[in-house]
Every structure is written in C-alpha cells, then in structure tokens.
Amino acid sequence: MSNPPEPDGPPSRGPNGRGLPTARAALVLVAFVVATVLLLGVIHPSAAKPASGSTASAASSSTTSTAASSSTTAPAHSGSPTTTVAPSKVSVLVANASGVSGAAAAVTNELRPGGWNLESPVNASAHVSTSTVYYLSGQQQSAETIATDLRLPSSAVGPYTTAAPISSIGTAEVLVVVGPDLATRSTAPTTTTTATTATTAARSSSTSSTHH
C-alpha cells in the first residue's frame, strides 16, 4: 500500500522561520533610532558650548569695557588732598620771630587785602633766620596762597608742629612766623614813609618860621 502524496506548498519553517526577518528589521530600526539619539546628544552640547563660550566672552568684554570706562572717568586722588576754603574762613596768626620791632603788625596789614581772618599779631618765643608759613590739616592750599602773597618760596610752607617758635597757636589754622627776610621787606615801606613824613614836617616848620 503506497503512501499518500504530500500537499504542495512552501516548506515548513522552524520556530524561527517567518518571524526572524521581521525581528531583525525591528532590531536594526531600534539600533538606528538609538544611534540617532546618541548622535544628536553629542552634536547639540558641542554646538551649545561655543554659544556659552561666546556669551562668556561677551560678558567678559562688557566687564572689561566697564572697568576701562570707570578707570577713565574716575578722578585721580592724591595721597594728601587739600580743601579750598574761603580766606574769610581761615584764621591766620602772624608771629614776629625776626627781632625787628613791628614786623608782625606790618605783615598782618600786608595780608589784609587778601580777606583772611587775621588775629592780633604776637611775638614768637624765639628768633628764626628765615620766615615760615605753617598750616593745620586741610589748610595747605591756604598756606601756599599766603606764602605767594608774601613773596615767599614754596619751601617756606610746611605742616604745623610743636617745633614752631610759638607757645600756642590758639584757634589759628595758618601761622606765619616772620623772619628777618620778611621783616625787612615788610617794614621798609613803613620806615620810608615815616622818614618822609618827618622830613616834610620839618621843612614845613622851617618855612613857617621863615615866613614869621
């Protein structure tokens, strides 16, 4: 008895038959998607980094420009700034240390046109060889102006110390210590005027006597 013929058709496939190509395609697709995501993740941060660097560079440039602007516009400060004060608010004391009678009074009168707040002249406790203009803190510019008015050199101006030949400066803010150099120059016009006046008076008296 012969076996019945087998039906025609595609050969039978095992458990991994028809589904194998589909599974492989799915795996390839998943691998492609994952690779794409990873690639985008690598590319985007690298693209963002230059942007961040540009921002930081721009911020740095802005900070540098601001600092440069500040250094350009900021006023320069000296180590010992002085304040400009109106002469009428600066108390000035003149002390005679020259040995020439009336020198302090003569210098005081010489300073009156400057509008200074002048105190009564006094005698110094010792004689000096050259004149000096002393100043208290904040009055350096006033002292320099007074020295200029008295035709004294800038080297004659200095900060007040207890070495100044005067027992007390009182409420004065600028102290003028009159030496022989300033005394001779300041009292000379007064002496000349006095001599001229005396000579004129003598001549007048002589003339009157002659007429009488």
Q: What is the mean pLDDT of each run of 10 residues along the chain (212 residues)?
A: 52 51 77 77 53 51 51 40 79 97 96 96 96 97 96 97 93 97 78 46 46 42
pLDDT at residue number 39: 73
| 3-state SS class at 84 | coil
- Contact partners, residue 19, CB within 8 Å, separation at least 6: none
Which 8-state DSSP code applies to residue 130? S
8 Å CB contact between 113 and 86: no
pLDDT at residue number 36: 77
Nearest residue to 181 via CA among 93, 96, 98, 95: 98
Structure tokens, 46: 């690298």
Structure tokens, 17: 């038959």
pLDDT at residue number 6: 53
Q: 48-84 b/e with 16+ CB inside 10 Å = b? A: eeeeeeeeeeeeeeeeeeeeeeeeeeeeeeeeeeeee
pLDDT at residue number 70: 47
Nearest residue to 109 via CA among 187, 198, 174: 187
